[in-house]
Every structure is written in structure tokens, then in C-alpha cells.
A = this chain, B = another copy of it.
Amino acid sequence: MSIIAPDEEILTVGPLEVAPAEHLARGGGQTLNLSARELRLLAELARRTDRIVSREQLYELVWGRPLRPGDRSVDVYVRKLRVKLSLALPEWSFIHTHFGFGYRFAAQRRRVVP
């Protein structure tokens, strides 16, 4: 029995676990070292697994204000997340681009190069 009771929300997407309330994400036998924004973005994506989320929607969810035209913040943070996720789980890919629409979060085994 643990001292603190984590009755908190835990999002499981394939081999990845995201616990926004605990400020952390686990995968590949390790705890990912994510910044505040990165974790927030990951959580919002994980909450919408298998659905396409537009940049505008993502920005409002994570930043809490409307996306200004020309703002590439979402793209930049998607990249940061992709790097850290593939570092912890090299055989998996999670953030899939849907050209012209947005991103879709889903655990997918990466094609192995022979």
C-alpha cells in the first residue's frame, strides 16, 4: 500500500502511460523527462487517441488561447515530443501527421529496417 493514493487519471496508449496529474509519462521501462508544455501536449493528444486533432484545437487545449496565424509552436512541440518518445520507445511511433488536417495520436509499431 502506498502512502499517497493515486486515484488520478492514467492514459494508456500502447506501451505508453501518461499520468498528467503526476506530471509524468512512462514507457520503455523508464520515466520520460518532459517539460510542462510537452507533457500537456502529450496528455491532450493521448486523451484523443485515434482521432485527428487540428492545430487550432491543440493550441487552444494546451496554450489556452487561440492560435495566431503563422504560429508554428504546435509543430515545434510535436517534434520535441516525437524525439523524446522515440528515444524511450524506438520501435513505436505515436504522432501521425494528417496533411492539411492535423495530428492523430496512436501507438503504432515502426517498420523495422532490415
Contacts and interface: CB of A to CB of B under 8 A. Distances in A.
B52 A98 contact: no
A48 B101 contact: no
Interface residues on A, range: 20 to 34
Interface of A: 3-4, 6, 22-24, 30-31, 33, 35-36, 47-48, 50-52, 96, 98-101, 104, 106, 108
Contacts of A101: 23, 36
24 contacts: A3-B47, A3-B48, A4-B48, A4-B51, A6-B51, A22-B51, A22-B52, A23-B52, A23-B98, A23-B101, A24-B52, A24-B98, A30-B108, A31-B50, A31-B96, A31-B104, A31-B106, A33-B96, A33-B98, A35-B99, A35-B100, A36-B99, A36-B100, A36-B101
Across the A-B interface, the 9 shortest Cβ-Cβ residue pairs:
A23-B101, A23-B52, A36-B100, A3-B47, A24-B52, A22-B52, A22-B51, A35-B99, A23-B98
Quickly give the copy total for this chain: 2
Q: Binding site of A, secondary structure by majority: helix, strand, loop or mixed? A: loop
